Amino acid sequence: MDKLLEEKQGHVKDAFYRADIGGIDLFWGDGSAGLSHIIEQRRKDHINIPQLLNELPMAIHNGTLGDNANSLDRVNIYYKDKVVVIAYELRGETLTAVLTAFRTK
């Protein structure tokens, strides 16, 4: 994640892993998806971005899959007051990657 934050571009394949999902990629993205999107949107929400990003791996690893776990295009992972959305498809490409993350409170 640090490399993506520094370079503000790129893609890290299998940055995270869950037995029930497999490898989960992290990409810089843009205003609509990825790490860039998370930062941009949470700034607007006045969320502590460094704290949210620091807690992202724990949320992915220890969170509970949401009711949409059998969805073909995305799944939500819930952890304490956080939601991480994992996409299985984005802009016509098959992948498994962090789409966005946010606090529920």
DSSP for 1-14, please give it.
-HHHHHHS--EEEE
- Can you name the residues that pair with 18 across neighbouring β-strands? 22
pLDDT of 47 higher than 80: yes
Give yes or no for a contact between 102 and 47, defined as CB atoms under 8 angstroms apart. yes
Kindly indicate the confidence band of residue 31, based on its pLDDT and cuts at 50, 70 and 90: confident
Q: Does the structure show a pLDDT above 90 at 71? A: no
29-50 average pLDDT score: 93
What's residue 10's pLDDT?
A: 94
Alpha-carbon distances of 76 from 8, 54, 69, rounded to whole Å: 25, 18, 7
How far apart CA 69 and CA 45 sit, in angstroms, is: 27
pLDDT of residue 79: 96
What 3-state DSSP class applies to 36?
A: helix
Structure confidence by residue, pLDDT tens digits, 10-20: 999 999 999 99
Averaged pLDDT, 60-84: 90
**65, 85 Cβ separation under 8 angstroms:** no
The Cβ of residue 72 has, within 10 Å, a number of other Cβ atoms equal to 8
Residues recorded for the chain: 105
User: In this model, does residue 53 exceed pLDDT 90?
Assistant: yes
Average pLDDT, the chain: 92
> Which pTM was predicted?
0.90
Question: What percent of the chain has a predicted confidence (pLDDT) above 70?
Answer: 98
